[in-house]
Structure 1
Amino acid sequence: MNVNTEHDFLHTSLTRLLGCRYPIISAGMGGPARSELAAAVCAAGGFGLLGMVRESPELIEREIAAVRAATARPFGVNLIPSSTEPALFAAELGVCLAARVPALCFFWDVVPEAVKRAKDAGAIVLYQVGSLQDALSAEQAGADAVIVQGIEAGGHVRGRSGILTLLPEVAQRLRVPVVASGGIATGGGLVAALALGAAGVHCGTAFLATHESFAHDYHKQRICEARAGETVYTDLFAINWPPNSPVRVLANSVTDEAHGQLFGYHPDKLPREVIGHDDGRPLYLFSTDSPLRSTTGDLERMALFAGESSALVNARTSAAEVIERMVAEALEARSRICACRVDDSSGASDNTDT
């Protein structure tokens, strides 16, 4: 079997839409997903997203330019319309459209006006959602692809169902490509997602621990050390976001001290205790700020975002190595499935002859 044929099953409606070689999107994680990571993913054949949530227009402009200086491959920018102050969001989107970024990825509540503005400017629109209803709303608003997030995902979690049930439910109803997100960090997970109707996968935790990620080394090391069952689903880390916005993080002293009371925290009612700084800005206990390369302070008590797939991330590697590994594992998984089918067919024939 030649190489092109082996890779054919990884050429999907998503790769055709985005112009990438592999159906693997690196999540636009606010903070860690800056130009170094996005460019590395794109250069390796995936599709990189800049995580520019509530960043200044000036920083967004610089990061877009940095990606373009590093690679000629298409990329996207992740923004969150519904949880960003309207004037700031308008400025953020304006910078992206003026720079003619190939794609915009939006998250949380579906905001049709944001989709329309991006589409009118010629951008591809991806929308990350957590339910069938929001998926249908995103498609109706004009999204070119819908990212379906399961409850296994790290960071802010819109999904309330497991990806194995939510994904096929959505894929059966939508006409646009559907992308699976949550708990996926291996090629086997990629093959499973494709089998359930996805056109690709959207991975955060797998790329957060890479060399190119802007996350702090402490955060990366905690992910590599994590084992199954060591993430916590909670709304304890609430400052900076609207109420009732759960996250998934690695367990730490803050979650331990909650003594099982993991929900019911309102951002306006939490104390403002400064536990660190980033670029001169104070970081509060219970905030949604995760530690970055530029962060100082009590890192252990910060929001260490991680999905359940952190149990599958055991070493710090390059983004290219993550993609190469996932593709190799996907090919291996596909070969195992084909071999099982051949074995079953041979067995059935033998039984018939007997």
Structure 2
Amino acid sequence: MDEAQETIATPLTERLGCRYPIISAGMGGPARSELAAAVSQAGGFGLLGMVRESPALIAQEIAAVRQRTNRAFGVNLIPACTQPKLLEDELAACFDAGVPAMCFFWDVDAAAIAKAKRAGCLVLYQVGSVADAKKAEDAGADVIIVQGVEAGGHVWGRRGLSVLLPEVADAVEVPVAASGGIVDGRGLAAALALGGDGIHCGTAFLASVESFAHDYHKQRLVAAGPDETVHTDLFVINWPKGAPVRVLKNSQTEAAGDKLWGYDPDEMPREVIGHDDGNPIHRLDTNSPLRRTTGDLEAMALYSGDGVARVNAIEPARAIVERIMAEAIAAIRANAAAITA
């Protein structure tokens, strides 16, 4: 049996019913059915990113996942940036379809957790602090995803993952997945060593063949070197004020210069720079370019975690999952071999 076929059993794999302790992030836009299904079919746990999508699209994407795999998956929603009526309808679409798991992010919404639990769903909650981890667990979350400041996309964590992860692992009883800058098996091995039960990856899968991201975005990820991401609240239109993101440097971050913080979406002009499926994309809004997006792609939010320099190719999701596992097992064995009496 080669290393890619071996696994590391953890409380996370047991709770989620997957073979490998790898969750693909429910990235709004890029994490459609093709990606979620590919990760689950490969042995990980795929999440659909359905943030602020219509109930009809959610139902369609859930059905599409099930056409591709019979393995467990989940749907990611963000209550804090979704209008209450839409959130209610989104949840209803998920529950009507019998989704096995829901993932939530940003502020801990105890009511959303309670609704998901009543519907028979497992609940994963992505948090950025020890206090929120405990709050989510107390509200009924089955898995905590702890996000460090190294993460790409919307960043709720304000501290480094290597410090925050063991603190959260010590504070809660449920399985904990590490998120932020992890793109390879060394990251998985490190997360396990720090008390985590697995990992939650965005950037690694954003550059996959199955990702619904635009090829331009994927190519920028592959070409990126060290120190090419920016932590800022510049791209904030469509989200509440004070919502940091991590993106690749581009013309917009360069134009901002030293003023990377303090932007209010209500005070920013709405300048259309592109379209996606007929919908306008404004300069400095939170929409990243997807497969059907047209316009000034370079100026859009090109989300990326801080580990992007180690993403070197656009690969199938299965290859990414298997490579991460093989690297993690090799790293753990090498570390064990280095221990001598």
Report the TM-score when normalising by structure 2: 0.98
Cα separation, 1, equivalents of 2:338 and 2:157: 34
Q: Which residue does the alignment assign to 1:229?
A: 227
- Which of 236, 249, 252 aligns to 1:251? It is 249
Cα separation, 2, equivalents of 1:291 and 1:194: 33
Q: Which residue does the alignment assign to 1:95?
A: 93
Cα separation, 1, equivalents of 2:100 and 2:260: 39
Q: Which residue does the alignment assign to 1:134?
A: 132
How much has 1:334 moved relative to structure 2?
A: 1.2
Q: Secondary structure of 1:128's partner?
A: strand
Cα separation, 1, equivalents of 2:243 and 2:167: 23
Q: Which residue does the alignment assign to 1:160?
A: 158
How much has 1:7 moved relative to structure 2?
A: 3.9
Q: Please give the root-mean-square deviation of Cα atoms over the aligned residues, in Å.
A: 1.1
Cα separation, 1, equivalents of 2:128 and 2:332: 28
Q: Which residue does the alignment assign to 2:32?
A: 34
- Identify unmatched segments of 5+ residues in structure 1: 346-354
How much has 1:259 moved relative to structure 2?
A: 1.0
Q: Which residue does the alignment assign to 2:61?
A: 63
Cα separation, 1, equivalents of 2:318 and 2:65: 15
Q: Secondary structure of 1:202's partner?
A: strand
Q: Which residue does the alignment assign to 2:287?
A: 289
How much has 1:270 moved relative to structure 2?
A: 0.8
Q: Which residue does the alignment assign to 2:10?
A: 12
How much has 1:133 moved relative to structure 2?
A: 0.6
Q: Secondary structure of 2:46's partner?
A: strand
Cα separation, 2, equivalents of 1:328 and 1:112: 38
- Which of 21, 24, 31 aligns to 2:22? It is 24
Q: Secondary structure of 1:126's partner?
A: strand
How much has 1:309 moved relative to structure 2?
A: 1.4
Q: Which residue does the alignment assign to 1:184?
A: 182
Deviating 4+ runs (over 4 angstroms): none
* Larger displacement relative to structure 2 (332-341 or 57-66): 332-341
Cα separation, 1, equivalents of 2:24 and 2:252: 28
Code of the aligned partner of 1:55: E
How much has 1:3 moved relative to structure 2?
A: 6.9
Q: Which residue does the alignment assign to 1:267?
A: 265
Cα separation, 1, equivalents of 2:272 and 2:119: 41
Report the TM-score when normalising by structure 1: 0.95
Q: Which residue does the alignment assign to 1:315?
A: 313
Q: Secondary structure of 2:318's partner?
A: helix
Code of the aligned partner of 1:221: Q
Cα separation, 1, equivalents of 2:91 and 2:288: 23
Q: Secondary structure of 1:25's partner?
A: strand
Matches within 5 A, 1:322-337: 322-337=320-335
Q: Secondary structure of 2:307's partner?
A: helix
Q: Which residue does the alignment assign to 1:109?
A: 107
Q: Does 1:217 align with 2:177?
A: no
Q: Secondary structure of 1:323's partner?
A: helix
Structure number with greater Rg is 1
- Count, aligned residues: 340
- Which of 170, 178, 200 aligns to 1:202? It is 200
Higher relative contact order (CA 8 A, sep 6+): 2
Q: Which residue does the alignment assign to 1:351?
A: none
